[in-house]
Amino acid sequence: MTPTLMSSNDRPLWHAPNGASQPPAEPVMHALKDLFTTDVGLMSIGGIAFMLGMGVFFLRYFLRHMHDDEARAAAEAQR
């Protein structure tokens, strides 16, 4: 006997076409559909992209200034 997803009145909520009982993959697909098609999802993608861009910008900015300060300190030490 294969397990099935049952409702409160003991009727199966879903059946696979071949009779096998597998949980539906709909929640994941629904979440991806919402992410790419709704205003809230698109704003979330935009916010994530903005934050990643800020991270890359600050990483490059700080590293560049650290190397500049290191070069300046080395030049002062040679004087």
Output the DSSP codes for 15-62. --TTS-----SHHHHHHHHHHHHSHHHHHHHHHHHHHHHHHHHHHHHH
- Report if pTM > 0.85: no
Report which secondary-structure segment, H or E, holds 76.
helix 39-78
**pLDDT tens-place values along the chain, 79 residues long:** 455 555 555 555 555 566 666 666 677 788 899 999 999 999 999 999 999 999 999 999 999 999 999 999 999 999 8
Tokens (6 digits) for 38: 């709704």
